[in-house]
Amino acid sequence: MATSPYFRHINAPNEQSLVDALTRETIYQRGIDMFYLPRLESEYDFDYLFGEDPENTFGDYVAIEMWCMNLDTGFAGEGSIVSRFALEINDEASFQVSRTRFVEEIQKKYPNITRPREGDLLAFPMTKSVFEINFVEHEVPFYTVGKSHVYEIECQKFRWSHEDLDTGIEEVDEIPDMPKIEDNTEIQSESNTFVDHTESDPFSENIY
Amino acid sequence: MSITNFFYHGTIRKYVVTFGTLFNGMTIHRKDGKIIDVPLTYASKEKFYLRLAQNPELTKQESIDLPRMGFILSDFMYDAERKQPSLGKFTEETLDSMKRKSMYLPVPYDFIFDLAVYTRNVEDGLQIIEQIIPFFKPSFNVTINELNEMGVVRDIPIILDSVTGAIEDEGEFTQERVVRWDLQFTLKGNLYGPVRDQKIIKKVYVDYYTSKDGEYLESIDERYRVSIDPETAKPDDIWKYEEEFISSHDSNHIEIPPVEDDIISRQYAGDTLLCSDYCTIEIE
């Protein structure tokens, strides 16, 4: 049996438009300013085998307001941990962005970006942090009055792998210059006092 | 009672640094011509130091910078296959020509190192792995000045035991792909005991006594003395033996005095001397 033809709560364009306007207004009033940084393809071929493009760049941004869903509890995830590779900050965050605002701001500038994309970055100036989009949920909340009005974006702190950063946003572009921990130089200096190094035969192999 | 007085050669630290030296110059090359130095860290550090060094202003924008490598000395164990004689010793010259530094042979130990390679891209990881594996067949020797005080320079074999790919690429979208390789190595090391100064035998007296009714008389019958001339000579200097034979039976009937030099050890007939690892002398 079909639903009542007299109560069309899932097919009411006026109410859908009202909810969308309220959503936009709420985020506009109580949201936060974010920068959307699209991942730009490099001029080199995408690695079809491993599904990656190490030469990706980030060279532009679009400002857009979003609703931060971690306001009560702070960032989720493991937080700051010490791993085999020194300090790792595994903060996770969730944001909501109005679908219609996304079209107005981002799709207008990048026609091929029709929704927030996994792999793109979000710069969060208030916390001076950069997040990478891991997943975009498009069905939560579930079709209010018959239509979805927001994208819910699941992010994790960006793991930078020497992608070129020339976005014009200070917090992003200075990532390569931030303090990095490494022992390479100190190990070399200390080993020079007792390891038999020569330039042509660094490890006494008599091969090179 | 302690087993020994303080000594510390820093040998294990040398092994850690030596191991790190093998991997501290790794680079990966990108298609755009970028050459990336791969940071290497020893994994065990004070946590407060890591926090202060990497996030001093609490404004660290990114999670971690990749690629990177971390290593740690995870274990060490006695290697019975390389056991040497327990009482074996070796010596080294000192500035004092009358003494030599001496120590017992080292104890063989295997040191287990774990090296982890963490990259964002599989291609980056493969570049690093392929720069490591071909050198280990399965071992790779590094010559190090293992014990400077005793002039021990030794080839240290480092054996690649295993390579394990730990790529986490399944599961929820909220978890990023993790590309990690774990390599385990065994470094064939030695641990050295304390170094002691030992006097060098440069003069030997052999006194002969006469026995009567099964007991030795107190007076020395004959003496044979041999010494190094000059006494301060070192092994590489020019030196010669100086021998002397004195008998109480010659025409002067002299009385042979007791030895006044420092006696390092006095041996008697029937004693067995351990001269080296493979030689014993029994005094008749």
Q: What is A133-174 written as a DSSP string? A: EEEEE-SSS--BTTB--EEEEEEEE-EE-S-EE-SS-HHHHT
What mean pLDDT is predicted for residues A79-103? Answer: 91
Q: Is the confidence at residue B260, as pLDDT, over 80?
A: no
Selection from A185, A94, A158, A99 nearest residue B39 by Cα: A185
Burial call A23-43: b when 16+ CB within 10 Å, e when fewer:
bbeebeeebeebbbbbbbebe
- Among B24, B35, B40, B61, the strongest candidate for a mutation testing the A interface, having the largest count of A CBs within 10 A, is B61
∠ CA B56-B178-B172, rounded to 5°: 110
B9-34 pLDDT, tens digit per residue, is 999 999 999 999 999 989 999 998 99
pLDDT of residue B211: 77
DSSP-derived secondary structure letter, A11: S
The residues, ordered by sequence, that sit 6+ positions from B192 with a Cβ below 8 Å of its Cβ are B9, B11, B103, B106, B107, B146, B147, B150, B152
Chain A: closest CA distance from residue B217 (Å): 59
B94-125 pLDDT, tens digit per residue, is 888 888 889 999 999 999 999 999 999 999 99
The answer to whether B59 contacts chain A (CB < 8 Å) is: yes
Q: Are B208 and B225 in contact (CB under 8 A)?
A: no
Range 162-191 of B in CB contact (< 8 A) with A: 172-176
Region of residue A204 (left: phi > 0; alpha: psi -120 to 50; beta: else): left
Chain B residue with Cα closest to A123:
B61
Chain B residue with Cα closest to A176:
B65
Taken in order A101, A106, A109, A113, the sign of the CA dihedral is negative
What mean pLDDT is predicted for residues B253-257? Answer: 77
Residue-range domain boundaries for chain A = 13-181
Tell me if A82 and B153 make a contact (CB, 8 A cut-off): no
pLDDT of residue B276: 46
Range 118-147 of B in CB contact (< 8 A) with A: 118-124, 140-146
The answer to whether B36 contacts chain A (CB < 8 Å) is: yes
Place of tokens 């306001």: A71
Range 97-116 of B in CB contact (< 8 A) with A: 114, 116
The answer to whether A169 contacts chain B (CB < 8 Å) is: no
Tell me if B64 and A172 make a contact (CB, 8 A cut-off): no
Tell me if B62 and A157 make a contact (CB, 8 A cut-off): yes
Which tokens sit at A43?
Answer: 């001029």
Weakest-pLDDT range from B39-53, B187-201, B213-227? B213-227
**CB contacts < 8 A (A, B):** 197
The residues, ordered by sequence, that sit 6+ positions from B273 with a Cβ below 8 Å of its Cβ are B267, B280, B281, B282, B283
Chain B: closest CA distance from residue A176 (Å): 8
Tell me if A178 and B61 make a contact (CB, 8 A cut-off): yes
Distances (CA, A) of A57 to A153, A158, B126: 21, 14, 22
Q: Which residues of A touch B72 (CB under 8 A)?
A: 84
Range among A139-143, B192-196, B250-254 with highest mean pLDDT value: B192-196
Tell me if A180 and B174 make a contact (CB, 8 A cut-off): no
Please give the ipTM for the structure prediction. 0.86
